[in-house]
Each structure stands twice: as C-alpha cells, then as structure tokens.
Chain A
Amino acid sequence: MSPFSKDDFERLFNGLFNTTRASVLIIDRRLHVLAANRNFLVKSRRAENETVGARLEDVFPTVLINYMGLLEKVRSAFKDPSYSSEGQMTYRAPSLPLRIYHYVLSPISDADGATTNVMLLMYDITEEQRLSGEVQRAERHLASVVQSASDLVVSLDPTERILSWNPAAERISHYTWDEIIHRPLHSLCSEDGKEIMRGAIRRLARGGPPENLETDLITKDGRRVPVAWALSGMQSETGDVAAIVGVGRDLTLRRQLEAQLIQSAKMTSLGVMAGGIAHEIRNPLGICSAAAQLMLAVPDDRELQKECAQRIHENIKRAALVIENLLKFARPPEEQYQLVDLNQVVEESLALVSNQARNQHIRTQFAPNYKAPHVMANSSLLQQVFTNLLLNACHAMNEGGEIMVTLTATDSWVSVEFRDTGAGIEPEALGKIFDPFYTTRPVGQGTGLGLPISYSIVEQHGGRIEVKSKVGVGSSFIVHLPVRQSGTPHESIANHHYR
C-alpha cells in the first residue's frame, strides 16, 4: 500500500513540475500543449491560459519550429515509445535577450506502455555557452598577445625540444618556426651559454622553480644577440612538468645604453683624475728636463752624466706607465670574460688613483694575496669598479687618511675589501648610494652614476657589493665575486659582449 493518497501524488507532481530548473511542456496527440510548468511560462513570458491548450505553432515562432523540425519530432515520439531527441535551440521570448536551451524530447507512457503524451524538457544553457565563448575569446586574445609580443616567447617539451616559436623569436633569430621546431633550445645558444641553458631546463623539467639567465643567441646569419631569459615549468593536472615556457628579451639596445653609460661615467672619473694625472706626468718630465740640463752643465763629469741618463730613463718609463694605465682605463671594455687575477686589477686601479691619493695625503695599503683563485671576469670593467670605489674613498677623506685594500678568498668567492678612514655614510643615505644620480658632490663634480654602474657591473659578474659604514669612522665596500669551478660553468654568470 502506498503511504500517499492520490492527492498527495498530485501535490508532489505539481511541486516537482513547477520547481524544476528545466522548462517543461507536455504535448498531446493533437500537438497542443497539455501542460506548461512555471519555469516555462516565466522564461517565455507567457500566461498560462494562453499557453495550455494552444497549438505548438502558437507557442513557438514558426522559424524555430521549422528549423528544429519540432512537429515531426513530436509525431515520431508518439509513434515510437523508445524515441528520444535532443539538441540545442535558441529562443527569444518577447522583449528578452536571446537564450540558448538544451532540449530533450521524449514520449511519456502509461502503465501499459502506451504513449500518452510527449514531453519537451528545455534546459537553459545560455550562461555556460557565454562562458565557454569567453574562454575562447580569452584564448584567442592570449594567442594574439604571444603573436604580437616584442619578446621571444618559446615553449618546449620537457626534453627541451621547441614546440612553439612566436614571430618575435622569428624576427630576432631569423629562424622560422618550421626551421626550428623540435630542435633543442640550447642549440641556438652561444658555446658558453649552451650548458647554462641545458642546466636550467634540466632543473625545470624536474620541477624546479623558475629560472632567469642571460645568454647570447646565435642567429641564423651568425650574429650574437644577448637575451635575458625567464624560464618556467608548466605543470599538467597530475603535477608533472608538461612543458617549459621561455620569455626572452633582446638586450642589444640595453647593452648599448649600458656601454654608453659606463663610458660616460668613466669620462667623469677621468675628469676627477685629470689633475692627478697632470702631476703624475709633469713630475717625471720635470726631473728629465732638469737632469738633461744638468748633463749639459757638466760636460766633463762622465760619472754624473751617466747617473743623469739613468734617472732620465727611469722617469721616462714612469711617465710612459702613467699613460699606459690611462689608456687601459679609457679604452672600451674587452669583448670577453677571461680568468683574471684580481691582485693585478687592484694594483692597476691603485696605480691610477695613486696621485689623487697622494695629493689628499691619503696612504694606500695593499698586500697581494696570490693564493686567491682567479675569477671569470672582464678585467677592464672590474678595474673601473675598483677605481670608482677608490676615488669615492679619496673623496670621503678630504683631511687625509688611509685606504686599506684586502683580498680574501673562500672556495666559492673572492672578496676585495676597500676600507677607508673617511667621513662615513649617514644611515639614511646608505640605502640610496646605489640609486642612479644620487650624489652628495657639488653639481659638476659627481654624476651619481659611479656606484650604480659599479653595482651593475658586479651583478653582471654574478657577484655583489656589500657596504659597511660608520659616520666619523669610515666606510668599507666589499666586492664579492664568484669563483668559477673548472668544468662547471657558473650558472648565474652570463657572458656580455659590448659592441
């Protein structure tokens, strides 16, 4: 015995019929509407008395009925108890925006299995459709971003083979996508960059964090283009690395600007040193001139003449060395990084500023440390950094003082410390000293570029500059440079070439 009475069933049926999210129409054999649920009436903006009993042609627009073949479908459903039809229909109710429905048309049978009516269920899928359209638009937008980006955008499979290659990559490398597809990305890197690139991709393929590196790209026509890469792994739903995405920025222009900046800061340093340089050359010239005149004054004293000649020779060598150092400083940076003995770079830098120091009654001290390993570096750039730090130290000691240079080394780092007994740096200024154009010197005497450029040079070497300072006691600038183990290239060092 069913616990429900007939009334209970009717209430339950009406409840279901009217609360379902679908719009429901029950159709009779004459193809008239037998019943329409509340949802249908609300969505189609129709009154119940205009709908129930109405012909299907009066409920739906003719165009829709013809397009769907609705009447034929309903007739088929009456003939075949196992009939079912579903699909999409778009329907615009009066004064409402177009809506999209998924419909299911199926026969309703009685207890004996005879078809009594046909039911049309309509599910509103307008939102879902709109969202997937947006996803498509977003995807198209994203694709066009990649296509029109000025940076290289590359995707690789986890074995480093190139899968996609955007137009910027084609433009910069001169390789088209079909020439490059499935080639490993490192095959386009310069010799010294190949291992760096492979190492980074290996780590990414194992699920490592994003990598930033700089290498030279060798173009199809053999040019070197410096590129800063940001590489990251793309994870699949299972958490495996499905692909690696690389965005590369062409650094050619930045390198040129940096080289210009470095050159202009160098010129400023030369300006500061000019007075000292004049002194450095005039002194030996003065000695040579006086000694030559002494030789003329004592034509018969062979011994004195010989001594004069020796001193003239010594002082000419001294002046020549000054000029040589000066030229070394002024010439553009060397093309390549080499193994460099920092002792030598420190000594050359000290020679350049020795006069500036002497003029200001500053003593310089340096005990070479020949046990320190050589570092991969561009010696002329490092010389500029050291010279700049030494000149800054001189500037901090107007009343004279001392500069101590020490070279210490661990297995992985070589550190050069420049310690002065100068004025020191105010704590609030300490955070600004590496900012471009920050200077405490009068207009025309400092560009405010010396330290920022030094910082960027040291950073390019994979190193860093540490500063300690106490007002009234002095400052200490420590340049830390990485030691490159033979055979394992230092991965944060990129090669830079200035043209």
Chain B
Amino acid sequence: MNPSQIIIIDDEVDMCWVLERLLRHRGYDVATAGTGEQGLALLRQPGVGLAIIDCKLPDREGLDIAAEVIALYPTVSLILISGFPFAEESALRERLQSLNAQFLAKPFEVTDLTALVEQVMSRRSNDANRADKD
C-alpha cells in the first residue's frame, strides 16, 4: 500500500487550515494536529507518508516530536517549519541532518513547500512501485 497521507502539526490554527487546503488542492490526503501529542496520535494510524512539524509546539519541542516519529516510524518523511530565527545554527542543521528532515523557515514560498512535498511523496511512490515489482 502507498502511504500517501500528510500530517501537519502546528499550533497555528490558520497555518494548519491554509496548508491543509493547499495540499488537498494538489490532491493529497491531509490531517492536522495542534499539539505534538495529538500529532503522534495521528501517526499511529497506518498510511502516513509525511509529517510537517512546527519547531515550537505548546507541549513539546517539534524536534523532539520529529525524533520520536523517526524512532517509531522510520519510513515517515519529515519537513520541519519554524518562525524562529535559528535556521542558520549549526546545531539545528546537524540535528535536522541526523533526522533526515527538510527545513523551511516561515514565511515560506508555497512553491518551495509543494516542491519539497512532491519530491518526498514521488520518491515514496517510486519506492512503493519498486517494492511492488520486487
């Protein structure tokens, strides 16, 4: 089965709302969560291919949630987004690299996000096709 669902975890309700509609418009199946714990609950359902996680969540650090996702569901891809001015910090860069996660700073160009999402999801579907052939 092709895990095609995208989970968005952000406490900004409007951000969830816009991203959900943008990605739906592109044909993706999207669910949203306002806290890290709610997000992890959504990830327990099968079929999640990508999680878009805000770095600052009201209950947990987005990066800690990301690390937990990778540990529990190694096949799920990750994109972290943040309004924080620390994208240049080497510690963050290293952390993102170790999680094999992409990063986008707010405000971002939607085309940059959709390009990243498409790249991730098509790789997944290629992998899935290859897996089907094997």
Contacts and interface: CB of A to CB of B under 8 A. Distances in A.
A308 B18 contact: yes
Interface string B92-115: 000000000000011111110100
A321 to B, nearest CB: 15
Contact of B110 (A281, A294, A314, A315): A294
Interface string B10-49: 0010110111011001000000000000000000000000
A304 B22 CA distance: 11
B22 A297 contact: yes
Contact of B22 (A281, A282, A293): A293
Interface string A284-302: 0111111101100110000
13 contacts: A279-B84, A282-B105, A283-B12, A287-B14, A289-B107, A290-B18, A290-B108, A297-B110, A298-B25, A304-B21, A308-B18, A311-B18, A358-B56
Given A290-B19, A293-B22, A311-B14, 14 more contacts: A279-B56, A279-B83, A282-B106, A282-B107, A286-B107, A289-B110, A290-B15, A290-B22, A293-B111, A294-B21, A294-B25, A298-B21, A298-B25, A361-B59
Nearest to A283: B83
Contacts of A359: 56
Given A287-B14, A290-B19, A282 B83 contact: yes
B74 interface: no
Contacts of A279: 56, 82-85
Given A293-B110, A361-B59, A283 B22 contact: no
Contacts of B59: 361
Contacts of A280: 83
Contact of B58 (A286, A291, A297, A361): A361
Contact of B106 (A275, A286, A304, A314): A286
A286 B83 contact: yes
Interface of B: 12, 14-15, 17-19, 21-22, 25, 56, 58-60, 81-86, 105-111, 113
A289 B108 contact: yes
B45 to A, nearest CB: 25
A293 B85 CA distance: 23
Nearest to A290: B18
A interface majority secondary structure: helix
A261 interface: no
A291 B15 CA distance: 8
Going nearest first, the 5 A-B pairs with the smallest beta carbon separation are A286-B106, A282-B83, A293-B110, A286-B107, A289-B107
Q: Most chain-B Cβ atoms within 10 A of its Cβ — which of A275, A283, A315, A361? A: A283
Interface in A136-186: none
A287 B113 CA distance: 13
A287 B15 contact: yes
Which one of A280, A314, A359 has the greatest number of beta carbons of chain B within 10 Å?
A359
A278 interface: yes
Nearest to A362: B58
B107 A288 contact: yes
A291 B83 contact: no
B110 A283 contact: no
A314 B58 CA distance: 21
A291 B22 CA distance: 9
